């Protein structure tokens, strides 16, 4: 599903260049549930951004589902991001002025899906994450765990085969976080969606089938998770 070959990411700063990811090789198979762990500033989010085509590497190649992302032009990369990957962030990134249903509908509307299809899909997705009764609420009227479920429903809208989640339980208490992890685990097992999740929570990482450790922009260890 994912192949990184000699991938580096260098940020140009006033003080000089900073290498956030160094010469990284990594293979992630279809259907894996990966936890990326490592200290703050080690390059976890940078790696996720490269996997999702949100940013391009300074050197090396990122391939996702057989597509070499650096060969895409700007327009193709945007389309890839919108249709092939579901993103989930620590702070949910829901639009506050839109209802739950409208937030989940966004990717479909952006892709100009027919109205009836949008309605059916949104209903199905909200049922899938257990929030069918919250469709007309606004994000601020929901708990953190519920908002993250909305974000996951939105991430599923385009039927991605890959979900990239950056600290999805980082703002949640343990019990609520466990619910979100169970949802991701179910999507991985029942719908064979490949999941790459950044977390610094050891317990959250237990949901994963493989744990990849990053230090200072380098993959230092890759171990089978407890469920593998
Ligand atoms: P993590 O997610 O592991 O905490 P990040 O991938 O966000 O770490 O960042 C890795 C390093 O790269 C950090 O030192 C961070 O300051 C730096 N970095 C990340 N994004 C940028 C950017 N857009 N410009 C400059 N430096 C950045
Ligand atoms: Mg980060």
- Ligand 1 pocket, mutate which of 18, 21, 91, 198 (most atoms under 8 A from CB): 18
From the alpha carbon of 18, which atom of ligand 1 is closest?
Answer: 26
* Cα–Cα distance for residue pair 148/164, rounded to 1 Å: 13
**Is residue 149's pLDDT more than 90?**
yes
> Residues near 148 by Cβ (< 8 Å), separated by ≥ 6?
88, 92, 168, 169, 171, 172, 180
Mean pLDDT of the chain: 94
- Tell me, rounded to whole angstroms, the distance of Cα 136 from its chain centroid: 25
What end-to-end distance do the CA atoms of the chain give, in Å?
A: 18
pLDDT, tens digit (0-9, with 9 covering 90-100), for 1-54? 999 999 999 999 888 999 999 999 999 999 999 999 999 999 999 999 999 999
From the alpha carbon of 198, which atom of ligand 1 is closest?
Answer: 2
Quote the ipTM score.
0.97
**Spacing, Cα 113 to ligand 2 middle (Å):** 33
Which residues have CB less than 5 Å away from ligand 2 (the ion)?
Answer: 44-45
pLDDT, tens digit (0-9, with 9 covering 90-100), for 69-119? 999 999 999 999 999 999 999 999 999 999 999 999 999 998 889 999 999
Q: Please give the pLDDT value at position 228.
A: 52
| CATH match for 2-224 among 3.40.630.30, 3.30.70.100, 3.40.50.300, 3.40.1260.20 | 3.40.50.300
Torsion, Cα of 73, 79, 82, 84 (10° steps): -90
**Spacing, Cα 67 to ligand 1 middle (Å):** 25
pTM: 0.94
Residue nearest to atom 16 of ligand 1 (CA): 41
Q: What is the mean pLDDT of residues 212-226?
A: 87
* Cα–Cα distance for residue pair 205/218, rounded to 1 Å: 19
- Tell me, rounded to whole angstroms, the distance of Cα 135 from its chain centroid: 23
The domains of the chain are located at 2-224
Residue ranges around ligand 1 (CB below 6 Å): 11, 13, 18, 20, 38, 40-46
| 118: nearest Cα among 89, 93, 149, 153 | 153
From the alpha carbon of 39, which atom of ligand 1 is closest?
Answer: 3
* Cα–Cα distance for residue pair 8/6, rounded to 1 Å: 7
Q: What confidence category does residue 224 fall into, taking pLDDT thresholds of 50, 70 and 90?
A: confident
* Cα–Cα distance for residue pair 156/61, rounded to 1 Å: 26
Q: Please give the pLDDT value at position 227.
A: 57
- If you count them, how many residues does the chain have? 228
* Cα–Cα distance for residue pair 137/98, rounded to 1 Å: 9
From the alpha carbon of 49, which atom of ligand 1 is closest?
Answer: 6
**Spacing, Cα 1 to ligand 2 middle (Å):** 22
């Amino acid at each position: 599903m994912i192949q990184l070959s000699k991938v580096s990411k260098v940020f140009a700063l006033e003080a000089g260049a900073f290498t956030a990811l160094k010469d990284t090789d990594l293979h992630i198979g279809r259907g894996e549930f990966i936890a990326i762990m490592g200290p703050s500033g080690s390059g976890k989010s940078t790696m996720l951004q490269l996997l999702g085509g949100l940013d391009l590497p300074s050197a090396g190649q990122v391939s996702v589902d057989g597509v070499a992302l650096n060969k895409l032009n700007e327009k193709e990369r945007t389309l890839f991001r919108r249709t092939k990957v579901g993103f989930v962030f620590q702070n949910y990134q829901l639009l506050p002025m839109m209802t739950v249903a409208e937030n989940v509908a966004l990717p479909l509307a952006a892709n100009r899906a027919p109205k009836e299809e949008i309605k059916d899909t949104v209903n199905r997705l909200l049922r899938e994450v257990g929030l069918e009764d919250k469709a007309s609420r606004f994000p601020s009227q929901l708990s953190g765990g519920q908002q993250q479920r909305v974000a996951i429903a939105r991430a599923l809208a385009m039927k991605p085969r890959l979900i990239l989640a950056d600290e999805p339980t980082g703002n949640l208490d343990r019990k609520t976080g466990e619910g979100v992890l169970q949802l991701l685990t179910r999507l991985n097992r029942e719908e064979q969606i490949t999941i790459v999740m950044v977390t610094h929570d050891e317990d959250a990482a237990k949901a994963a089938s493989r744990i990849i450790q990053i230090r200072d922009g380098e993959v230092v260890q890759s171990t089978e998770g407890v469920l593998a």
